[in-house]
Amino acid sequence: MSTDKSKGGNAILVINAGSSSLKFSVFRETGKEQVAVVINGQISGIGTEPKFEAKDTQKRLMAERAWTASEPSDRTALLGFLLDWVEEHLEGAKLVAAGHRVVHGGTRYSAPVLLTPEVMAELESFVPLAPLHQPHNLAAIRALGEAHPELPQVACFDTAFHRGQPWQSQTFAIPRELTEEGVRRYGFHGLSYEYIARRLPELAPNLADARVVVAHLGSGASMCAIHAGRSVDSTMGFTALDGLPMGTRCGNIDPGVLIYLMRQKGMDAGAIEKLLYNKSGLLGVSGVSNDMRALLESVDPHAAEAVELFCFRIAKETGALSASMGGIDALVFTAGIGERSAPVRQRVGDKLAWLGVEIDPAANEANRSTISTPGSRIPVYVIPTDEEQMIALHTQELLGQGTH
């Protein structure tokens, strides 16, 4: 470790754990409610052939490592290695906590929480609500706890930001017993929306109390109605399958289709899950790719239809979310497609001309932060999201560890 104490201060490890890979970032505290990323990396091939890679902020490789079959490489061993490696590369800073992205906080958690055995038991009980993600998030927390029991760990939920929505936005029209059991609309991508809600007033101070529709368009895509910085409604519901069509997920679908698939095609839950999560969306409609770049470059008419359906549904949901807020004062694009795809933003903007949206083609092509014309009734922004930074900020706030 460097002895350069001038670089001291606190550091926070942020972890986003999936089924076979784990992304991590290291942030240093730079002030009160301020952090800066210093290292990004991932461990891939967990459970098969694990590989570790870390890069600095200029995307230069800092380290890589592979595990041989004879070496211990379970999650505890891998997270133990990660923590040791991070601590060796902190240049005088002190690792004070780990913040985790956890997909589901149920109806209980409307804010991040310090992890204890009691909280972990409660988070376990949400596994049936998010069986594809929650177990992996919790496995990483457990493994890190075994490797370094003294390090405080914080869970930041994708659902938390939406917990304050009015009841109508959270409720399906089904028998109450099911709603009470937890079959309700949770909404996801909450860390991304919360980050945008904090950034927007910096870009446009007059919009602090405004009604804003945010489109988070990544390989998973959703939209959120935010009024005065609070979530009012969202397109994702009980699961991350609802709402917009996505890379491989269907989005909003008539539940009668599922009954048809069961009755007429003899499909069971596993087969339907695979169809709706992995074979639908942009991939299913185009038959070409789940990647928006590939679709925009393709000459296949089905690729063009997939893009058109995606943009149509974004415009349609903008109308629905505006109705949830009684109006709209601004539109924001974020995440992979939202931040980088001028053609998608232009098409959505054109479909919203009736609302008074007017995109400035040059600003849009240049990926500027304001892409609407000065005369546009609704200003349109592009704001890069940063869920990892949001987790680091929450972890800092929760531990009250600010050094300045």
Instruction: State the minimum distance, in angstroms, from the CB of residue 344 to ligand ADP.
Output: 7
Binding residue for ligand ADP, selected from 298, 304, 340, 365, defined by CB under 6 A:
340
Q: How far apart are CA 39 and CA 55, in angstroms?
A: 6
Closer CB to ligand ADP, 229 or 247, in the complex: 247
Judge whether 349 and 318 are in contact, CB under 8 Å. Answer: no
Instruction: State the minimum distance, in angstroms, from the CB of residue 77 to ligand ADP.
Output: 27
Distances 380 to 252, 352, 366 between C-alpha atoms, Å:
25, 11, 14
Residue 261 carries which side chain, given as an amino acid letter? L
Instruction: State the minimum distance, in angstroms, from the CB of residue 275 to ligand ADP.
Output: 20
Catalytic residue among 56, 158, 209, 386: 158
Rule CB under 6 A: say whether 23 interacts with ligand ADP: no
Let me know the angle formed at the C-alpha of 38 by 37 and 40, rounded to the nearest 5 degrees: 85
Among 39-47, 85-93, 235-243, 334-342, the segment contacting ligand ADP (CB under 6 A) = 334-342
Closest residue to ligand ADP in the complex (CB): 336
Binding residue for ligand ADP, selected from 76, 107, 179, 219, defined by CB under 6 A:
219
Q: How far apart are CA 143 and CA 135, in angstroms?
A: 12
Among 175-183, 217-225, 376-384, 394-402, the segment contacting ligand ADP (CB under 6 A) = 217-225
Rule CB under 6 A: say whether 218 interacts with ligand ADP: yes
Rule CB under 6 A: say whether 293 interacts with ligand ADP: yes
Question: Is the dihedral angle over the CA atoms 140, 142, 143, 144 positive or is it negative?
Answer: positive
Among 44-52, 122-130, 161-169, 214-222, the segment contacting ligand ADP (CB under 6 A) = 214-222
Closer CB to ligand ADP, 226 or 292, in the complex: 292
Rule CB under 6 A: say whether 243 interacts with ligand ADP: no
Q: Shortest CA distance to 245 belongs to which of 179, 337, 181? A: 337
Bridge partners (DSSP) of residue 370 are 381
| DSSP sequence for 338-352 | HHH-HHHHHHHHHHT
Token pair of 240 as six digits: 């991350």
Asked about 360 being catalytic, the answer comes back as: no
Angle of the 190-203 helix axis to the 387-399 helix axis, nearest 10: 90
Enumerate the active-site residues. 158
